[in-house]
Structure 1
């Protein structure tokens, strides 16, 4: 019975970390942009409209 090589190829871990970093950056950028769009849309509503959905102007800044 032979044992498999349990070591990753040279540089594989570095590449994996780089790809993970890029994917995390992309995810964070998408989430930031969605929050920005939501804040922009909510800020255009009247106080009465915000009250109807249970949001205050102060809540908008927290998004």
Structure 2
């Protein structure tokens, strides 16, 4: 009867898979963060100066508020 050992770990394969997964996760997170900042920037830019003043911002501080 033949047997094979299933308790051996395959060194390196989990590391590569983890790196690939982490790369795509980081890329997706970066795109999501960029899109959220874009939406916020567009919404704030559409406000009048008076509306911005009401929430404590000025037109020049929009980029600082978003944290570009």
Q: TM-score if structure 2 supplies the norm length?
A: 0.75
Deviation at 1:12, TM superposition (A): 1.3
Q: Distance in 2 between matches of 1:17 and 1:31?
A: 21
Which has the greater radius of gyration?
2
CA RMSD of aligned residues (A): 1.7
Aligned residues: 59
Which of residues 45, 48, 53 is equivalent to 1:46?
A: 48
Distance across 2 between alignment mates of 1:32 and 1:48: 27
Q: Which digits, 9 at most, give the CA deviation of each residue in 1:2-49, with x for residues without a partner?
A: xx75x5544210110010110011111101100000000000000000
Q: CA deviation at 1:60?
A: 1.1
Runs of 4+ in 1 over 2 A off after TM superposition: 7-10
Alignment-derived partner of residue 21 in structure 1:
23
Deviates more, 1:50-59 or 1:9-18: 9-18
